[in-house]
A and B are shown apart, each in its own frame.
Chain A
Amino acid sequence: MLNPSATGTRRNMQQIRRLSSIRCRLVAFSLWCVTGLKAAAEGPQSTPSILAPASTPAHEIYGLSLFVLLITGAIFAVVAGLLVFVIIRFRERESDAQHEPAQIYGSAQVELAWTVIPVLIVVVLFLTTARIIFAIQDEPKPESALDVTVIGHQFWWEFRYPKLNIVTANELHVPVSTSQQPEPTYLRLLSADVDHSFWVPQLGGKTDLIPNHPNEMWIDPEEAGLYVGQCAQFCGIEHAKMLIRVYVDTPQQFEEWAKNQQQPGVQDAAAAEGRHIFESEACMNCHTIEGTTAHGTFGPDLTHLMSRATIAAGAAANTPRNLHAWIEDPNTFKPGALMPAMQLSDQEINEVVAYLTTLH
Chain B
Amino acid sequence: MADQTYPIPGSLDAAPSRGAALLEWLHSWVVTVDHKKLGILYVVYALFFLVVAGVEALAIRIQLAVPNAHFLSPELYNEFFTMHGTTMVFLVGMPILFGFANYMVPLMIGARDMAFPRLNAFSFWMTAFGGLLLYYSFIGGFGLYGMGAAPDVGWWAYAPLTAKAFSPGHATDYWALALVVSGFGTLGTAINIIATILSMRCRGMTLFRMPLFAWLMLVVSGLTLITITPLTAAQIMLVIDRYLGGHFFDTQAGGSAVVWMHFFWIFGHPEVYVLVLPAFAIANEIIPVFSRKAIFGYPAMVAASVGIAFISLTVWAHHMFTVGMTSVSNAFFVLSTMMVGIPTGIKIFNWLATLWGGRIRFATPMLFCTAFLFQFLIAGLTGIMLSVAAWDWQLHNSYFVVAHFHYVLVGAIVFCIFAAIYYWYPKVTGRMLSERLGKWHFWLFLIGFHVTFDTMHFVGLLGMPRSIYTYEADRGWGTLNMVVSIGGFVQGIAVLIFVWNLINSYFHGAKAGNDPWDAWTLEWSTPSPPPPYNFATDPVVRSRRPLWDLKHPNDPDWKYER
- A residues within 8 Å of B by Cβ? 30, 33, 37, 46-51, 58, 60-61, 64-65, 68-69, 72, 75-76, 79-80, 82-83, 86-87, 90-92, 96, 100-107, 110-111, 114-115, 118-119, 121-122, 125-126, 129-130, 132-134, 136-138, 154, 189, 193-195, 197, 199, 201, 204-208, 210-213, 215-216, 228-241, 243, 314, 335-336
Contact among A48, A106, A125, A232 with B388 in the assembled complex (CB-CB below 8 Å): A125
With contacts A47-B477, A104-B296, A194-B166 known, what are 10 further pairs, Cβ within 8 A?
A: A37-B461, A50-B398, A65-B394, A100-B293, A101-B291, A133-B330, A189-B324, A195-B161, A210-B258, A228-B475
Distance in angstroms from A172 CB to nearest chain B CB is 17
Q: Give the nearest-CB partner of B344 in chain A.
A: A118
* Known A37-B462, A92-B359, A195-B257: A208·B323 in contact at CB below 8 Å: yes
A235 touches B161 (CB 8 A): yes
Residues on B with beta carbons closer than 8 Å to the beta carbon of A243:
472
Give the number of chain B interface residues (Cβ < 8 Å): 98
Contact among B384, B462, B557 with A48 in the assembled complex (CB-CB below 8 Å): B462
B327 touches A137 (CB 8 A): yes
Q: Tell me if B422 counts as interface (CB < 8 A to partner A).
A: no
Q: Tell me if B294 counts as interface (CB < 8 A to partner A).
A: yes
Distance in angstroms from A299 CB to nearest chain B CB is 17
B388 touches A234 (CB 8 A): no
B161 touches A104 (CB 8 A): no
Contact among A96, A134, A208, A211 with B324 in the assembled complex (CB-CB below 8 Å): A208
Q: Give the nearest-CB partner of A242 in chain B.
A: B468
Chain A interface helix/strand/loop/mixed = mixed
B562 touches A105 (CB 8 A): yes
Q: Give the nearest-CB partner of A235 in chain B.
A: B161
Residues on A with beta carbons closer than 8 Å to the beta carbon of B475:
46-48, 228
B346 touches A75 (CB 8 A): no
Complex interface bits, B132-166 against A, C-beta within 8 A gives 1, otherwise 0: 00000000000000000000111000101100001
* Known A106-B299, A240-B471: A138·B462 in contact at CB below 8 Å: no
Complex interface bits, B55-76 against A, C-beta within 8 A gives 1, otherwise 0: 0000000000000000001110
* Known A133-B330, A137-B330: A197·B390 in contact at CB below 8 Å: no
B353 touches A110 (CB 8 A): yes
B154 touches A234 (CB 8 A): yes
* Known A48-B462, A50-B461, A240-B74: A79·B342 in contact at CB below 8 Å: no
* Known A49-B463, A211-B257: A104·B293 in contact at CB below 8 Å: yes
Distance in angstroms from B100 CB to nearest chain A CB is 25
A91 touches B360 (CB 8 A): yes
Contact among A101, A114, A133 with B331 in the assembled complex (CB-CB below 8 Å): A133
Distance in angstroms from A19 CB to nearest chain B CB is 10
Complex interface bits, B374-391 against A, C-beta within 8 A gives 1, otherwise 0: 100110011011011111
B560 touches A206 (CB 8 A): no
Q: Give the nearest-CB partner of B340 in chain A.
A: A122
* A189→B74 CA distance, assembly (Å): 26
Q: Tell me if B334 counts as interface (CB < 8 A to partner A).
A: yes
Distance in angstroms from A20 CB to nearest chain B CB is 14
* A326→B474 CA distance, assembly (Å): 22
* Known A61-B394, A79-B352, A111-B300: A211·B251 in contact at CB below 8 Å: yes
Q: Give the nearest-CB partner of B467 in chain A.
A: A234
Residues on B with beta carbons closer than 8 Å to the beta carbon of A119:
342
Residues on B with beta carbons closer than 8 Å to the beta carbon of A212:
251, 254-257
Distance in angstroms from A326 CB to nearest chain B CB is 17
B465 touches A90 (CB 8 A): no
Complex interface bits, B439-465 against A, C-beta within 8 A gives 1, otherwise 0: 000000000000000100010011101
B357 touches A102 (CB 8 A): yes
* Known A50-B394, A240-B471: A205·B384 in contact at CB below 8 Å: no
24 contacts between A and B (CB under 8 A): A30-B454, A37-B461, A48-B463, A83-B355, A90-B360, A101-B291, A101-B292, A102-B293, A102-B357, A118-B341, A122-B338, A126-B334, A129-B389, A205-B322, A206-B394, A207-B322, A207-B393, A211-B257, A212-B255, A234-B78, A236-B166, A238-B74, A240-B74, A335-B73
Q: Tell me if B516 counts as interface (CB < 8 A to partner A).
A: no
Q: Which residues 333-357 in B have Cβ within 8 Å of A in the complex?
A: 334-335, 338-339, 341-342, 345-346, 348-350, 352-353, 355-357
* A92→B357 CA distance, assembly (Å): 11
- B residues within 8 Å of A by Cβ? 73-75, 78, 152-154, 158, 160-161, 166, 251-252, 254-258, 291-294, 296-300, 322-324, 326-327, 330-331, 334-335, 338-339, 341-342, 345-346, 348-350, 352-353, 355-362, 370, 373-374, 377-378, 381-382, 384-385, 387-398, 454, 458, 461-463, 465-472, 474-477, 552, 557, 560-562
A92 touches B361 (CB 8 A): yes
B397 touches A233 (CB 8 A): yes
Q: Find the residue from A37, A103, A230, A232 having the highest chain B CB count within 10 A.
A: A103
* A204→B256 CA distance, assembly (Å): 26
* A61→B374 CA distance, assembly (Å): 28
B322 touches A336 (CB 8 A): no
* A154→B161 CA distance, assembly (Å): 10
* A336→B74 CA distance, assembly (Å): 8
**In the complex, the 5 A-B pairs of residues with the closest C-beta atoms, listed nearest first:** A205-B393, A48-B463, A240-B468, A47-B476, A211-B251
Q: Give the nearest-CB partner of A113 in chain B.
A: B349
Residues on B with beta carbons closer than 8 Å to the beta carbon of A208:
322-324
A130 touches B324 (CB 8 A): no
Residues on A with beta carbons closer than 8 Å to the beta carbon of B458:
30, 33
Q: Give the nearest-CB partner of B357 in chain A.
A: A101
* A334→B75 CA distance, assembly (Å): 12
* A235→B257 CA distance, assembly (Å): 13
* A251→B518 CA distance, assembly (Å): 77
Contact among B377, B398, B470 with A79 in the assembled complex (CB-CB below 8 Å): B377
Q: Give the nearest-CB partner of A198 in chain B.
A: B322
* A50→B254 CA distance, assembly (Å): 36
Distance in angstroms from A313 CB to nearest chain B CB is 12
Residues on B with beta carbons closer than 8 Å to the beta carbon of A213:
256-258, 323-324
Residues on A with beta carbons closer than 8 Å to the beta carbon of B293:
100-104
* A30→B161 CA distance, assembly (Å): 38
Residues on A with beta carbons closer than 8 Å to the beta carbon of B389:
129, 133
A105 touches B294 (CB 8 A): yes
* A228→B472 CA distance, assembly (Å): 11
* A205→B381 CA distance, assembly (Å): 21
Residues on A with beta carbons closer than 8 Å to the beta carbon of B342:
115, 118-119, 122
A90 touches B358 (CB 8 A): yes
A240 touches B397 (CB 8 A): no
Residues on A with beta carbons closer than 8 Å to the beta carbon of B335:
122, 126
Q: Find the residue from A33, A206, A234 having the highest chain B CB count within 10 A.
A: A234
Residues on A with beta carbons closer than 8 Å to the beta carbon of B357:
90, 101-102, 104
Distance in angstroms from B121 CB to nearest chain A CB is 38
Residues on B with beta carbons closer than 8 Å to the beta carbon of A189:
324
Distance in angstroms from A150 CB to nearest chain B CB is 13
* A216→B325 CA distance, assembly (Å): 11
Distance in angstroms from A194 CB to nearest chain B CB is 4
Residues on A with beta carbons closer than 8 Å to the beta carbon of B384:
68, 72, 125
* Known A61-B390, A86-B352, A125-B338: A232·B257 in contact at CB below 8 Å: no
B74 touches A335 (CB 8 A): yes
Residues on B with beta carbons closer than 8 Å to the beta carbon of A233:
158, 397
* Known A103-B560, A125-B384, A208-B322: A64·B391 in contact at CB below 8 Å: yes
* A204→B351 CA distance, assembly (Å): 40
Q: Give the nearest-CB partner of A79 in chain B.
A: B377
* A65→B395 CA distance, assembly (Å): 11
* A26→B467 CA distance, assembly (Å): 27
Residues on A with beta carbons closer than 8 Å to the beta carbon of B382:
72
* A205→B389 CA distance, assembly (Å): 10
* A112→B101 CA distance, assembly (Å): 31
* A94→B339 CA distance, assembly (Å): 43
